[in-house]
Amino acid sequence: MSRIAKTPNTINRHHVNPAAIRVVEHLRRADFEAYIVGGAVRDLILGGQPKDFDVATNAKPEEIKALFRRARVIGRRFQIVHVRDGKDIIEVTTYRGPHDSDGSLKSASQQSAQGLLLRDNVYGTLEQDAARRDLTINAMYYDPVSETILDQIDGSSDIAARLIRVIGDPEKRYREDPVRMLRVARFAAKLQFDIETKTEAAIGECATLLGEIPPPRLFDEFLKLFMAGHGKPTLLLLLHHGLLDSLCPEAASLIEREPRYKALVTNAMGNTDLRVQEGRPVTPAFLLAALLWPALQNRANTLVDQGEAPLQAIHSAGQQVIAETCLHMAIPRRFSFPVREIWELQPRLERKQPRKIKDLLANRRFRAAYDLLLLRADSPEPLDGIGDFWEQQQQKYPELVGSAPPQPDDRPPRRRRPRRNRNP
Ligand code: ATP
Ligand code: MG
């Protein structure tokens, strides 16, 4: 294990969450090892402010739970403990060990015939824990007491070289957990790092393994990929590596084939990234409406060719596209409803019927539908002057825009507990 001393300006102690330091100190008072680990250390070294803090320790989940008043063990496939400290939640994980180690219990470790890890609760040492993390840059341990970093995998060299590198044999690591491929693309886009050659080459072999991942986990990953302010570069990388198919195969193949769809979707992502960077609210519903629009339009066109009326065609196609997509990523209904509303407004906005203008302006999805319409017009689709028309109407009746009261089927969004959805 190599220790690299903290250089004065790499980690700014003020960027370290005091709650995470308290958790580390408390575990150590009970004679356990404890470090801040993973993405927080990576972001601290890069000079950023981590969004959450994970702690790794040799204490077992039940031992951690016994030490903290407000602690909950969560997860089955991958148990972790959430320790609450004021409004902060610190995720505390026990060091994981290799699965083939002697004496690993069947109930603790499970692997599918293809090598996919189904359960990962085999505990180990810090060195073993580092080796089973996904990327070298995510496998550094920060000791906030001595202010040193433990870096046996040499993640700091890859940070300096701006490289995303999977730890160990990439193909084996992707087989254990194919979501690691999406993580490679996500971090490469977010950090603007290059992908190391072998890490990149194995993706081609393994991309289809993402079909084994449960759809709810892929939807969680979708949110991380596209809602964090780097959606556009992430999308381009996913396309480049044939990884978008794992989330939405039908839309992905149309985006790959037709430049106007690629333009529409990349512009939607780019606009959302700007909103995130400006701290404005963003909704997954709009992104999904744009991302899946190619599939929706393609299917609706086919239905119209078969004689269906345009509004009905969009309605039926909407149902089909959502159902098909949910086989890959499970879109919760609180998002799929608005997606379909945004789609169904498209032909109605295109018609510009004078009697309907005020109702359409008042529709609570008007803004999102109008934004999609603009993206379509720019892509370009032949929608002559449509943007100007609706711009003028909004200027004429600004108080109406989105003013309609919620409908009876509008359920308030349910609060979800943060879910830990990952393999080792
Ligand atoms: P961020 O939270 O900024 O998205 P992160 O690196 O903290 O990035 P998390 O998903 O919070 O990502 O995971 C915490 C750490 O757990 C990672 O840094 C990595 O060390 C490890 N990890 C996460 N997912 C995997 C995985 N699929 N395989 C192996 N290790 C993983
Ligand atoms: Mg994290």
177 Cβ inside 6 Å of ligand 1? yes
Which residue minimizes the CA distance to atom 18 of ligand 1?
Answer: 38
Same domain, 229 and 123: no
Domain with 90, as residue range(s), is: 2-161
Strands (E), 95-216: 109-111, 117-120, 141-143, 148-150, 163-164, 194-195
Number of domains comprising the chain: 2
Q: Cα–Cα distance between 413 and 215 in angstroms, integer?
A: 20
404 and 255 assigned to the same domain: yes
Q: For residue 92, give the ligand nearest its CA.
A: 1
Catalytic: 102?
A: no
Q: Are residues 364 and 238 in the same domain?
A: yes
Q: Which atom of ligand 1 is nearest to the CA of 132?
A: 29
Tell me the CA–centroid distance for residue 42 and ligand 2, in Å: 10
Tell me: do 241 and 154 sit in the same domain.
no
| Residue 297, domain member (yes or no) | yes
Q: Give exposure, 211-249, as e/b (b: 16+ Cβ within 10 Å).
A: eebeeebbbbbbeebbbbbbbbbbbbbbbebebbbbbbb
Q: Is there a domain that residue 148 lies in?
A: yes
Ligand 1 pocket residue status of 138, Cβ below 6 Å: yes
Which ligand 1 atom sits closest to the C-alpha of 93?
Answer: 16
CATH number of domain containing 9: 3.30.460.10
Instruction: State in Å: Cα 90 to ligand 2 middle.
Output: 10
Closest-approaching ligand to the CA atom of 181 = 1
User: The whole model's pTM is what?
Assistant: 0.90
Ligand 1 midpoint to CA 38 (Å): 6
Query: What is the pLDDT at residue 397?
Result: 92
Active site residue 88: no
Q: What is the pLDDT along the chain (424 residues), one digit of tens a residue?
A: 444 544 434 788 889 999 999 999 999 999 999 999 999 999 999 988 898 999 999 999 999 999 999 999 998 778 899 999 999 999 999 999 887 644 444 556 666 666 676 666 789 999 999 999 999 999 999 999 999 999 999 999 999 999 999 999 999 999 999 999 999 999 999 999 999 999 999 999 999 999 999 999 999 999 999 999 999 999 999 999 999 999 999 999 999 999 999 999 999 999 999 999 999 999 999 999 999 999 999 999 999 999 999 999 999 999 999 999 999 999 999 999 999 999 999 999 999 999 999 999 999 999 999 999 999 999 999 888 899 999 999 999 999 998 887 665 555 455 555 555 554 4
Q: Decide if 188 is inside a domain.
A: no
Say if 176 falls within a structural domain.
no
Is 11 found in the same domain as 97?
A: yes
Which of 43, 134, 177, 273 is catalytic? The answer is: 134
266 to each of 260, 364, 379, 389, how far by Cα in Å?
Answer: 10, 25, 10, 24
**Same domain, residue pair 153 and 235:** no
Greatest Cα-to-Cα distance within the chain, rounded to the nearest angstrom = 75
* Alpha helix stretches (DSSP H) within 177-309: 179-191, 197-206, 215-226, 231-240, 249-257, 259-277, 284-291, 293-305
Find out whether 158 and 165 touch, Cβ atoms under 8 Å: yes
Q: In the listed set 106, 126, 161, which residue is the last one of a domain according to the structure?
A: 161
Q: Position 72: which residue type?
A: R
Same domain for 20 and 113, yes or no, is yes
Spacing, Cα 67 to ligand 2 middle (Å) = 23
String of DSSP letters for 356-382: GHHHHHHSTTHHHHHHHHHHHHHTT--
Pick the atom of ligand 1 nearest to 179's CA.
Answer: 27
Kindly report whether the peptide bond that precedes residue 380 is cis, defined as omega within 30 degrees of 0.
Answer: yes
3-state class (DSSP) for residue 407: coil
Atom of ligand 1 nearest to the CA of 173: 28
Question: Within this chain, do residues 43 and 138 fall inside the same structural domain, yes or no?
Answer: yes
Q: Are residues 405 and 256 in the same domain?
A: yes
Q: End of a domain among 106, 139, 161?
A: 161
pLDDT at 1: 47
CATH of the domain at 277: 1.10.3090.10
For residue 281, being part of any structural domain is answered with yes
Active-site residue, 177 included? no
Could you tell me if 17 and 36 are in contact, meaning their C-beta atoms sit under 8 angstroms apart?
no
Query: For residue 343, is it within any domain?
Result: yes
For residue 50, give the ligand nearest its CA.
Answer: 1
Q: Select from 233, 130, 244, 129 the least CA-distant residue to 181.
A: 244
Angle at alpha carbon of residue 201, lines to 200 and 207, rounded to 5°: 85
Of ligand 1's atoms, which has the minimum distance to the CA of residue 423?
27
CA distance 421 to 120: 12
Domain annotation covers residue 219: no
Last residue of a domain, one of 116, 138, 161: 161
423 lines ligand 1 (CB under 6 A): yes
For the Cβ of 133 lying below 6 angstroms from any atom of ligand 1, the answer is yes
Distance 4 CA to ligand 1 centre (A): 22
Q: Kind of pairing, strands 54-57 and 88-94?
A: parallel
Whole-number Å distance between alpha carbons of 417 and 414:
10
Q: To 10 degrees, what angle do helices 366-378 and 284-291 make? A: 30
CA–CA dist 415, 397 (Å, integer)? 34
Residue 385 shares a structural domain with residue 241 = yes
Q: Classify each residue of 85-112 as buried b or exposed e, where b means 16 or more C-beta atoms within 10 Å of its C-beta.
A: beeebbbbbbbbbebeeeebeeeebeee
Asked, for residue 99, whether it belongs to a domain, the answer is yes
Pocket test of ligand 1: the residue of 43, 134, 223, 225 to mutate, having most ligand atoms within 8 Å of its CB, is: 134
* CB of 179 closer than 6 angstroms to any ligand 1 atom: yes
